[in-house]
Amino acid sequence: MGKYFRKTTGSVGVMPSSACQDRQKLRSALRAPADEPPLSRQAKLDRTPGSYTSLCLQDYKLNFGLSDSHTGSEWHGGAATIEACPGAEVWGVIWTLSNEHLSSLDNQEGVSVGIYSPQEVSVETDDGVILCRTYQMNGFHPCPPSPQYKQVVCMGARRSGLPMEYQKKLEEIQTNNYSGPSILDQIKIE
């Protein structure tokens, strides 16, 4: 089994660690809650057997935008990504997943169409540093998220039990004020 860090509303992905003794298993993966895929796809991931823990990725910040290779958005605004930024932090969830889910996760994150690329990051835990897979947007251009996308990000942070201070920061994110139909209209939110 490996670990996957999921950012509050977005994704930091799953990555086999080069330090993993058993290459058939993921050592760890990191996903942050910023660039969250549609909830229907998230639900598939959430049903995957495994455990998760809320942790912080140091020296990265959460940002929203569009990729050169994908200027449209089913969310009508920017999607989440992470960027290196000394002193900043992104909170998310580390999931334990088996290697068999790696290609599905890559597809969910748009790796095959060039939207995101996998990236290895180190996450400090009580048990030491874990190498994780995350996803970073290619050809990033800043673009605020839609209110609907922000709602999904904030809901993910709440459900994951991320620190209240971080949740408040997410609530303060400025949106593009899009008010038309969105993919969120098709999703039942509990």
Q: Which two tokens stand for residue 179?
A: 């008010």
109 part of the active site? yes
How far is residue 36's CA from residue 20's CA, in Å, rounded to a whole number? 27
Tokens at 11, concatenated: 């994704």
- Indicate the DSSP class of residue 37: P
> Burial, 145: exposed, middle or buried (Cβ in 10 Å; 0-12, 13-18, 19+)?
buried
Give the pairing of strands 28-29 and 14-15: antiparallel
H-type alpha helices, 37-146: 39-46, 102-108
Select which of 36, 74, 109, 171 is catalytic.
109
* C-alpha–C-alpha distance, residues 172 and 20, integer Å: 39
* CA-closest candidate to residue 28, choices 19, 37, 36: 19
- Contact predicate 71/144, CB 8 Å: no
Residues serving a catalytic function are 109
